[in-house]
Amino acid sequence: MLKKNKTIKNKCLEECDALCCNDLAVQICKPVTKVEKEDLRWHLFFEGVKVYIRHRKWHLLINSRCRYLSKENRCTIYDRRPERCRKHNYPHCELEGKFFDIMIETPEQFDEYFARQKTRQRGKSKR
């Protein structure tokens, strides 16, 4: 167990580019109504805003650097960092690669996602 923890600690210290500190991810409710869908779609008109789905949970992803991140990509308030930051650790982080099941970056991709969902629902109802 000690070796695994040491490896994780080294990976964080040596390889981390603070990817998680350059994006603000906020869990949101899946849009269901026409108004909810249109509101979320509108967010995607703005640069640096994306929506992703992971384990059937929806998230709004906003590209925005943490104000407490140094130029060297190190946390300047590490000992006082929020609980949310403490819980976000390797290997369940962006350093390991794909952290989402579906990434939606544009209003057009948003429309395509819901068009596919509608087609799947029609296919299921015919069975």
DSSP, residue by residue, 81-115: --HHHHH--TTSSGGGS---SEEE-SHHHHHHHHH
Which pLDDT score, from 0 to 100, does residue 123 have?
72
Helices (H), 1-127: 2-15, 34-43, 83-87, 107-125
pLDDT at 119: 85
- The pLDDT assigned to 11 comes to 65
Residue 23: strand, helix, or coil: strand
Q: What pLDDT sits at residue 95?
A: 72
Per-residue pLDDT tens digits of the chain, which is 127 residues long: 444 555 655 566 677 788 889 999 999 999 999 999 999 999 999 999 999 999 999 999 999 999 999 999 889 999 999 998 888 877 767 777 688 999 999 999 999 999 999 888 777 766 5
